[in-house]
Structure 1
């Protein structure tokens, strides 16, 4: 073998040794670049995405649960709605036996009519008493005139003293009778003076009693104060119910909110008015709701629990606390994709703008919830009472 052939392997090994460090450096640079790129991407995501939002899956749908209960005692004779059914505000849910209430209503109706007629009678009596006063005045004036005519005759000894004394006694008696008639007239006017028949205290008292009886009779039909869906029906036919006893629940699903329980370490930048996005487990990621923060709880969940933690006694282990954050939902989105109270959700709050308040600065100006169902009942009671009063007035007054 020649010297040239012996030198070839050495040359090949030298070339491989030269190429391998270059490849190794290139590979290390690529890996380093990838790590740097990933780090830059992560930093960018943290600065522009993750640091500008707070997220939790400890969030649930909340809503009003309106308890339906009886306002008067009675026996259930009809149930007009069942679980899962929709009801409208003012709809009858349960009917109670109306017999006793109808009897009391009839008594109150008669008492109101009698009160109106009694005041009319008192008014007539007052007019009669005025006539008596006028008659007594005329009688007194006549006797005084007779006495005045006879006094000159007594001075001239043309009239006997007995007759004059008799006239004087008649005048005194007539004056006393006038005073008695005036007192009777004053007493008669005291019962009716200053008001008309409808505004007389006796009529107003009877009217109030009638309204109470009328409303009690109407309350045998238990109404839905709000529109919603029936849940937790416990009432059965034949049950004897008492005022305040829970019969069922109506849940208005149109007005719901989210109670998101954030860790205390997440609350630093959460403010009222910040936008939020919500995903409900029932729809997965297919539906996204949009809402805004409307308030933060006044304490942690453990502070309002039945048995609050006593951290000042015994051994202590720190537990991260959570505070409920309430988020209002868009009613239009709820109409398209209904939710149920208690469903699990995942909430993300955009905390980019954290200049808003953490606590409400002013009290609410509008009612949180209200109903006009019972106002209608009072209006109808007044109309019925007025009809009875008008029916018992004189024809001319009607």
Structure 2
């Protein structure tokens, strides 16, 4: 019987229980939900005073404006340095031409050596001026950096503004999915800490049943097996379900957490009590109303076409569905 159509009374409704924690620190100014209230995905759970974050946004916007002005000044400096270099190169060309002319005329005796030497000196000075202008242009370009949004100063200012704007958004904490707020301990005036749970939230979009079966009854249990569930909270009706998975292990508890010493079982006798393993089941069809997280249930699994044991399981579950009225 247990190997073909296992039955257990050790089953409970399970759901994802989430600790909702803010991502920013601050004083709570609004809690528009109440304890054990149902909420929709995206519904506001609580708000943190956004003033400090809005101030940070304004500061970041101001910083971005200043960076733009600084880049404007740097751009003007580049333009000026480039103009000086163009002018210096033009003057250098004229000076070089004059120095070459003086050198040729000196060979012909048409100018004095002093004049030729003076023009050569001016050429060297102008060459130095061009080198200095080139250095000034390089320095101005380095200070300016890449153009547009590729400029590191712009990127840094935009990143700071983005962080500040994100903090404003994060000051309003919303429900991640449809669910229930429970064990609400948050009130206006409380100080919320980033990363610290402020609200307990039960996700009602994903519910399943975890049933404990003895290990010697799991031989034929496999994902896809049909099952029936009887909830203590809903006597008189059986609900169809399907096996989703079978647990592969349970905690052994073989070490004392305080001493670190191993625990040794003192069971005597020829037959030990079988270990129980969890089986996860999913309800078929619409979710029944009235079942809550942690609610208890009876479960029968039909592992195949076994007329006799399946009939026994069906009869037993039908007896239980009326007996639960007496609980």
TM-score calculated relative to the size of structure 2: 0.84
Mapping of 1:313-392 within 5 angstroms? 313=264, 315-317=266-268, 318-330=272-284, 332-334=285-287, 336-352=288-304
Structure with higher strand content: 2
> Does residue 77 of structure 1 match 2:32?
no
Matched-pair contact (CA < 8 Å) for 1:116–1:197: no
CA distance change for structure 1 residues 106 and 150 in 2, over 3 Å: closer, same or farther? same
Q: CA deviation at 1:164?
A: 1.6
Matched-pair contact (CA < 8 Å) for 1:231–1:249: yes
Range that drifts further, 102-111 or 304-313? 304-313
Q: Runs of 5+ in structure 2 lacking a partner?
A: 307-327
Q: Tell me the SS of whatever aligns to 1:333.
A: coil
Q: Tell me the SS of whatever aligns to 2:8.
A: strand
Q: Specify the alignment match of 1:297 in structure 2.
A: 247
CA distance change for structure 1 residues 247 and 314 in 2, over 3 Å: closer, same or farther? closer
When Rg is computed on C-alpha atoms for both structures, the one with the higher figure is 1
Output the CA distance in 2 between the equivalents of 1:199 and 1:90: 35
Selected match of 1:199 from 135, 150, 155:
150
Give aligned pairs, total: 302
Selected match of 1:145 from 97, 100, 117:
97
Matched-pair contact (CA < 8 Å) for 1:301–1:323: no
Mapping of 1:267-278 within 5 angstroms? 267-278=218-229
Matched-pair contact (CA < 8 Å) for 1:258–1:328: yes
Q: CA deviation at 1:91?
A: 2.0
CA distance change for structure 1 residues 51 and 159 in 2, over 3 Å: closer, same or farther? closer
> Does residue 179 of structure 1 match 2:131?
yes
Deviations 1:206-243 (A, max 9, x none): 11111111111222212222221111111122112211
CA distance change for structure 1 residues 303 and 325 in 2, over 3 Å: closer, same or farther? farther
Q: Runs of 5+ in structure 1 lacking a partner?
A: 1-45, 355-398
Q: Specify the alignment match of 1:26 in structure 2.
A: none
Matched-pair contact (CA < 8 Å) for 1:75–1:96: yes
Q: Tell me the SS of whatever aligns to 1:142.
A: helix
Q: CA deviation at 1:311?
A: 7.7
Matched-pair contact (CA < 8 Å) for 1:229–1:252: yes
Matched-pair contact (CA < 8 Å) for 2:29–2:188: yes
Output the CA distance in 2 between the equivalents of 1:116 and 1:319: 76
Q: CA deviation at 1:70?
A: 1.9
> Which structure carries more relative contact order (alpha carbon 8 Å, separation 6+)?
2
CA distance change for structure 1 residues 162 and 290 in 2, over 3 Å: closer, same or farther? farther
Q: CA deviation at 1:261?
A: 0.8
TM-score calculated relative to the size of structure 1: 0.70
Q: Specify the alignment match of 2:114 in structure 1.
A: 162
Matched-pair contact (CA < 8 Å) for 1:274–1:351: yes
Output the CA distance in 2 between the equivalents of 1:53 and 1:264: 13
CA RMSD of aligned residues (A): 2.6
Matched-pair contact (CA < 8 Å) for 1:76–1:94: yes
Mapping of 1:275-294 within 5 angstroms? 275-286=226-237, 288-294=238-244
> Does residue 188 of structure 1 match 2:161?
no
Structure with higher helix content: 1
Q: Specify the alignment match of 2:166 in structure 1.
A: 215
